[in-house]
Amino acid sequence: MTTRLKTRRRQDPGSNLAKTLIGILATIGVIDTGSITLERWGWIRSLSCPGGNQGCNRVLESAWGTLFESNNLSIPLSFIGLISYLIILILAIITFLPSLNSKKLDLSRPIWWCLFILSTSMTIFSFLLMGIMVFKIEAYCFFCIISTLISSIILILTIIGGGWEERRDLIYRGVIISIVVLLLGLIWSSSVDPEKQRTSINQQGSPPEVINMSSPASIELARHLREKNIILYNAYWCPHCHDQKEMFGKEATKNLILIECAADGKNNNADLCKTKGISGFPSWEIDGEIISGVKSLDELANLSGYNGNSEF
């Protein structure tokens, strides 16, 4: 009897209703994270965030909002969420394809395990990000909260609808996955934490020294920005601000109009930053408009009407 029961469970394809709901939620997740990603890449206009854009901007443009950034490439953390939701969506609908009907039983078990591993990882990491949002950034982002709810519900549907053989195996693997994701997430969070990076910065509140050499074009662009009275608002502890300066290089940065916004920064003008409503770093003031985020030199050239040497 026990052997027959286990055999039936192994052949249980799980709930089609659960897969359908997971597919719907994954689609919402794709739209949610995809919108953030496209906005961060400048492919769509600024998003309207329920509850106010200021909180969303502070969260998405914080040190934790970007996974990787270089002179020519920026990968926001939302892009990883987008890829994860796309994978979940594919897993949820793949067994409904008519061409795979004959392999439905063979595919169901690996698919449910993939859904469980991915949704568990996403849920744990999402709650870690929620903690960072509340205790470190001290701001709230509607899109981030929605993503956390979606991943949590997908996990619940996966547990309920998976037709699992042994709940003990599910719990055991879930605990292992959670511990691994949490540890890796904490290591990553600590490595980008601006508070931790202060220890390697001059104690007088000065930013790290710019190392890259400037090209003739970047120097010319920096002088153009100064002539146009275009201002870069930054904070000495902000890693993205340092990345922005490194794009210009050491010589060109000296030509920029820099405003230090950190209240404990050297030669700061924190009151002006508050008056201007600066909530994220770096921020550029161009023709009276505040534009947040790291911008490529090509973008700055276009925004400022620069027509000189563009071989950055």
Q: Which domains does the chain have, with CATH numbers?
A: 2-192 (1.20.1440.130), 216-304 (3.40.30.10)
Query: pLDDT class for 219, splitting at 50, 70, 90?
Result: very high
The pLDDT, as a whole number, for residue 11 is 61
Average pLDDT (185-200) is 76
Write the pLDDT tens digit of every residue in 159-185: 999 989 878 889 999 999 999 999 999
Amino acid (one-letter) located at 120 = T
Entry pTM: 0.65
CA–CA gap between residue 138 and residue 297 (Å, rounded): 31
Question: H helices within 133-141, ranges in order?
Answer: none
CA–CA gap between residue 123 and residue 180 (Å, rounded): 13
Write the pLDDT tens digit of every residue in 87-133: 999 999 998 888 776 676 678 889 999 999 999 999 999 999 999 99
pLDDT exceeds cutoff 90 at 150 = yes
CA–CA gap between residue 81 and residue 73 (Å, rounded): 18
Other CB atoms within 10 Å distance of the CB of residue 270: 16
The tokens for 273 are 């930053």
299, 42 in Cβ contact below 8 A? yes
124, 181 in Cβ contact below 8 A? yes
Query: pLDDT class for 205, splitting at 50, 70, 90?
Result: confident
231, 257 in Cβ contact below 8 A? yes
Please list, in sequence order, all residues whose beta carbon lies within 8 angstroms of the beta carbon of residue 228, skipping any fewer than 6 positions away.
286, 304, 305
pLDDT exceeds cutoff 50 at 262 = yes
pLDDT exceeds cutoff 90 at 202 = no
* Residues 148, 62, 304: CA angle, nearest 5 degrees: 125
Average pLDDT (246-275) is 93
Higher-confidence residue: 70 or 114? 114
Q: Which helix (H) or strand (E) holds 232?
A: strand 231-234
> Which residues is 72 bridged to in the sheet?
none
Average pLDDT (296-300) is 93
The pLDDT, as a whole number, for residue 102 is 64
Query: pLDDT class for 6, splitting at 50, 70, 90?
Result: very low
Query: pLDDT class for 192, splitting at 50, 70, 90?
Result: confident
